[in-house]
Structure 1
Amino acid sequence: DQMSRVIEEARMVLPGIQALFGFQTIAVFNNRFERLPMHVQDCHLGALAFVVIAMALVMLPAAYHRLTQPGIVSRHTIEVSSISICCALAPLAAGVSLDVYVVLQMVTSQEGFSVAGGAASFVLLIGLWFIYPFISRRRHATHHSI
């Protein structure tokens, strides 16, 4: 049952990552992309690399399970799968945030605004995907221990 939930979580996240990856790869063929400053193009390549890492981590559970323990589900497989999906969110947040910076730079040509937008995106995603859940887990642990 736990493994089914882990795989379902991966299935929910993966299409979004794949769509983002598709848009990222298409962007380099846009005429405006080559006119961007080299550091902005480098940020886009960095974002692409982060998204590839996230994709690999999200797809790890299925490959790991099929290759290491086909036919059975161990506690270890569930832990590896759960950790890999959770870890995928950090590079995904970095990739999305770098691309927000690139898009804002392309639209506004204002470095400060673009950096602020990318940083705000990163803070929002890390806050919702990591900090809020950790605070909630700590709060629930405190209430259950009383």
Structure 2
Amino acid sequence: MKYQHSETENLKDEITHIESETRMILPGVQTLFGFQLVTVFNDRFAITLNYNEQVLHWGAIACSAVSAILVISPAAYHRLAEPHTASRRFTHFSNLWLKSSLFPLALGCVIDFFLIGIAITKNYVVSGIVSSILFIGFITAWYIFPLLIRRKLP
């Protein structure tokens, strides 16, 4: 497959892309975080999961909260540190925050997926294997594949 030559983005386009990417990530983070919080107040939560599993769920919520902090940080930074400006510093920090938000988001999803697996199968091994495959999928799609492509670009 042959691809067109790529171009360097100008500052305005780069900021537009950061805004679009943030708008794509944020609803997923918010939805996961909301479901994770609501789960704790469900009667079945205390019945189905033991104390250690409940603490693990709390860790998953913490991962989602960290992800939310990182996804929302570019907007907060721009409004407070550099209002009415567009800078390479803003794009640098925004890229860093958005890239960093994906790992805790993946981890929060995988931890809760593991706990759901335990609730359904009552089997730690099966839940662990399937959750590990999901984690590998996240890391491959969000980090490994893009970095491999980046290395091959001219």
In the other structure, the counterpart of 1:50 is 63
**Residues 22-61 of structure 1: matches in 2 within 5 Å?**
22-35=34-47, 36-61=49-74
Kept in 2: contact 1:14–1:58 (CA 8 A): yes
Q: For the residues of structure 1 that align with 2:29 and 2:119, how far apart are their CA atoms?
A: 22
> CA RMSD for the aligned pairs?
0.9
Q: For the residues of structure 2 that align with 1:59 and 1:25, how far apart are their CA atoms?
A: 19
In the other structure, the counterpart of 2:20 is 8
Q: For the residues of structure 1 that align with 2:148 and 2:55, how far apart are their CA atoms?
A: 35
| Greater displacement, 16-25 / 30-39 | 30-39
Q: For the residues of structure 1 that align with 2:63 and 2:134, how far apart are their CA atoms?
A: 15
1:128 aligned to 2:154?
no
Q: For the residues of structure 1 that align with 2:20 and 2:129, how far apart are their CA atoms?
A: 34
Q: For the residues of structure 1 that align with 2:95 and 2:19, how far apart are their CA atoms?
A: 9
Report Cα offsets for 1:104-144 as digits up to 9, x if no partner. Answer: 1111111101111221111110110001100010111xxx2
TM-score by length of 2: 0.89
Using the TM superposition, give the Cα deviation of residue 34 of structure 1 relative to its aligned residue in structure 2, in angstroms.
0.5
In the other structure, the counterpart of 2:104 is 91
In the other structure, the counterpart of 2:6 is none
Kept in 2: contact 1:99–1:118 (CA 8 A): no
Q: Which secondary structure does the structure 1 equivalent of 2:41 belong to? A: coil
Kept in 2: contact 1:51–1:92 (CA 8 A): yes
Q: For the residues of structure 2 that align with 1:13 and 1:68, how far apart are their CA atoms?
A: 23
Task: Work out the number of aligned pairs and report it.
Answer: 141
User: Could you tell me which amino acid in structure 2 is paired with residue 96 of structure 1?
Assistant: C
Alignment gaps of 5+ in structure 2? 1-12
Greater share of residues in helix = 1
Runs of 4+ in structure 1 deviating by more than 2 angstroms, as ranges, are: none
TM-score by length of 1: 0.93
Identity %: 37
Q: For the residues of structure 2 that align with 1:116 and 1:60, how far apart are their CA atoms?
A: 34
Q: For the residues of structure 2 that align with 1:30 and 1:118, how far apart are their CA atoms?
A: 23
Alignment gaps of 5+ in structure 1? none
